[in-house]
């Protein structure tokens, strides 16, 4: 069996692995689709060593084999990749901080003891039973492949200071920004302004319910000022994932407002602390998700409050993964979410 791995700067290789077998407490999943994440794109661009287990970490599929200790799943169950529930045994759990469970966090970043030697850019994968949750019956496998990134955005919005009626700004309308925008609407924002340089993505944001879309720069600050009586946004979600965008988020927020960091820059950032202090900015940062959030997010995707299929703009084969990532990394891409179908020749 071949899995695609990012093995260096601008390098994607098909690497041969033995056909996976389930560990006692694990399952083998036949992968239906695996999405390309911004993290995959950053790894491809930077060439910094990339953990193989997360090279492709947005997948859906069907259980094809179970280990002998597995109780909650059987062959034929449709599943999505997720984070484990709290273990109840680690130092954080013992301290009553189950939502900070160390084992669950390691699973969310692909570093748990049963982490596979490759990610979801493969026809099959063996993972711990606790790493998957059953797919909501209202979702197709294609929709289900976007549950992981949708849950990243869901978690960020749950962790943020958003209040009913707020004017919220979303910086960046990539798949995470477009997901965040929809959760923010569902959570009761009064006005949702999306800042995005790419015209196709601005159009998609409008179609998915943004109140306003605007290009970055002076035009964006003017629009936000004008729509808030000169005050600035109540809350700004940073979904660009570049270092410069953190200070921009604070610049667009009102005094006493908040920002939420979701995009992951791979360099240090320069900020203007005086502006943060003068505005008394509150900040939340969000990485990954909690186990229980997958069911919550899937329910709201299945009932149509948050749509992911409009984000799915193309499908690639395993052999086409390198070209697909190169296009997404190029900046002028027409794509939003590209899914890989590892069963295509």
Q: Where are the alpha helices (DSSP H) in the chain?
A: 38-46, 91-94, 102-108, 141-144, 147-159, 175-186, 199-207, 218-226, 244-252, 273-279, 292-302, 321-329
| Interface with Zn ion, residue 90, by CB under 5 A | yes
Q: Specify the residue, 55 or 235, whose C-beta has the smaller distance to Zn ion.
A: 55
Min CB(288)–Zn ion separation in Å:
8
Q: Specify the residue, 101 or 308, whose C-beta has the smaller distance to Zn ion.
A: 101
Q: How far is CA 331 from CA 40, 188, 224, 260, in A?
A: 15, 32, 25, 24
Q: How many CB atoms lie within 10 A of CB 39?
A: 18
| Interface with Zn ion, residue 101, by CB under 5 A | yes
User: Quick check: helix, strand or coil at residue 57?
Assistant: coil
| Region near Zn ion per CB under 5 A, out of 83-91, 118-126, 247-255, 282-290 | 83-91
Cα(40)–Cα(130) distance, rounded to whole angstroms? 23
Min CB(84)–Zn ion separation in Å:
9
Min CB(311)–Zn ion separation in Å:
14
Q: Where are the alpha helices (DSSP H) in 139-243?
A: 141-144, 147-159, 175-186, 199-207, 218-226
| Region near Zn ion per CB under 5 A, out of 39-47, 105-113, 264-272, 301-309 | 39-47
Of 15, 25, 87, 109, the one binding Zn ion (CB under 5 A) is: 87
Closest to 201 measured CA to CA, from 105, 328, 294, 111 = 328
Of 4, 29, 31, 37, the one binding Zn ion (CB under 5 A) is: 37
| Interface with Zn ion, residue 36, by CB under 5 A | no
Residue 65: enclosing H or E segment and its boundaries?
strand 59-66
Min CB(190)–Zn ion separation in Å:
29
The 159-178 site mask, x for binding Zn ion (CB under 5 A), equals: --------------------
CA 328 to chain centre: 15
Q: Specify the residue, 288 or 300, whose C-beta has the smaller distance to Zn ion.
A: 288
Residues in contact with Zn ion, counted by CB under 5 A, come to a total of: 8
| Interface with Zn ion, residue 82, by CB under 5 A | no
| Interface with Zn ion, residue 55, by CB under 5 A | no
Q: Which one-letter DSSP state was computed for residue 206?
A: H
List of residues contacting Zn ion (CB under 5 A) = 37, 39, 86-87, 90, 93, 101, 103
């Amino acid at each position: 069996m071949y899995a695609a791995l990012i093995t260096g700067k601008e390098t994607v290789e098909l690497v041969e692995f033995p056909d996976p077998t389930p560990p006692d407490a694990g399952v083998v999943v036949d992968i239906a689709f695996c999405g390309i994440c911004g993290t995959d794109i950053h790894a491809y661009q930077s060439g910094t060593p990339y953990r193989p287990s997360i090279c492709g970490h947005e997948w859906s599929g069907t259980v094809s084999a179970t280990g002998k200790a597995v109780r909650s799943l059987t062959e034929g169950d449709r599943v999505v990749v997720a984070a484990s529930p709290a273990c109840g045994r680690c130092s954080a759990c013992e301290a009553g901080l189950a939502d900070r469970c160390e084992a669950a966090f390691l699973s969310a970043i692909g570093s748990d003891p049963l982490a596979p030697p490759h990610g979801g850019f493969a026809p099959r994968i063996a993972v711990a039973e606790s790493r998957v949750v059953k797919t909501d019956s209202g979702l197709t496998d294609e929709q289900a492949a976007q549950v992981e990134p949708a849950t990243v955005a869901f978690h960020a919005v749950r962790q943020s200071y958003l209040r009913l009626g707020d004017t919220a700004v979303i910086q960046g309308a990539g798949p995470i920004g477009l997901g965040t925008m929809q959760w923010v609407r569902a959570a009761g924002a009064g006005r949702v302004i999306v800042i995005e340089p790419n015209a196709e993505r601005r159009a998609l944001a409008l179609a998915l319910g943004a109140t306003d879309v605007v290009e970055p720069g002076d035009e964006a600050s003017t629009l936000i000022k004008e729509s808030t009586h000169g005050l600035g946004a109540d809350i700004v979600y940073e979904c660009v994932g570049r270092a410069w965008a953190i200070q921009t988020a604070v610049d667009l927020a009102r005094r006493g407002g908040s920002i939420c960091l979701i995009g992951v820059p791979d360099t240090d950032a320069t900020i203007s602390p005086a502006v943060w202090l003068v505005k008394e900015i509150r900040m939340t940062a969000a990485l990954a998700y909690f186990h229980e959030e997958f069911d919550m997010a899937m329910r709201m995707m299945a009932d149509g409050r948050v749509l992911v299929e409009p984000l799915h703009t193309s499908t690639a084969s395993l052999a086409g993964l390198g070209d697909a990532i190169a296009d997404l990394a190029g900046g002028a891409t027409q794509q939003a979410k590209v899914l890989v179908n590892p069963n295509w020749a």
